[in-house]
Amino acid sequence: MPQNIKKTEAIMTAAPVIPVLIVEDPAKAVPMAEALVRGGLPVIEITLRTERALEAIKLVADNVEGAIPGAGTVMTAAQYEKAISAGSQFIVSPGATPTLLDIADAFADVPLLPGAATASEVMYLLERGYERLKFFPAEQAGGAAYLKSLSSPLAAAKFCPTGGVSLDKAPTYLGLPNVLCVGGSWIADAKAIANEDWAGIEERARAAAALTGR
């Protein structure tokens, strides 16, 4: 089944930046998400890199008005199903496999943003009906210059570059014709979450929400 492009693009264009988060303590997920939403970043990607990430997603889904929580670093069908059960409204993967795309077909109402880093990977995803993709790892895979070079031959693909993207680098990506948003961890990194720096997270979220391309 092809990607629900309209629904996926709505998530990607809700704000110029999708925070990519590693949450160790679920008790901190709600105030963290509230700070992000207040700052203008409603789409929140909580990566499945910690033992209690699914719990954090569920708490945000159940308790934070205006938040659009999703699960990142999803690599298996089991993770996909658990993430949706926890309340994820979108799924992000670092790459794509036939198995992952098959399970995505079974949950078409929850968009998958699959990762790609090469022209061949993008072509494969386009062949499977996916036109809204994650470019990962963005900086390590060639950065904005490389991504720009894909815009003409693979014009149907639009991206969310993630991986090494910072506040300073984000505008360059956002100025590309094939970029809809960027993903970044600088807004709410592990230290800020651990220190409960909600004011700082909100301030960085406001700065990120105001970003435009250049």
Catalytic residues: 45, 134
What letter does residue 157 receive in the DSSP assignment?
-
**CA–CA separation, 161 and 42 (whole Å):** 18
| 33, 57 contact by CB (below 8 A) | no
Round to whole Å and give the CA distance between 31 and 60: 9
* Single-letter amino acid code for the residue at 116: A
CA–CA separation, 80 and 100 (whole Å): 8
Cα→Cα distances 16→101, 104, 155, 167, 186, Å: 26, 25, 20, 11, 14
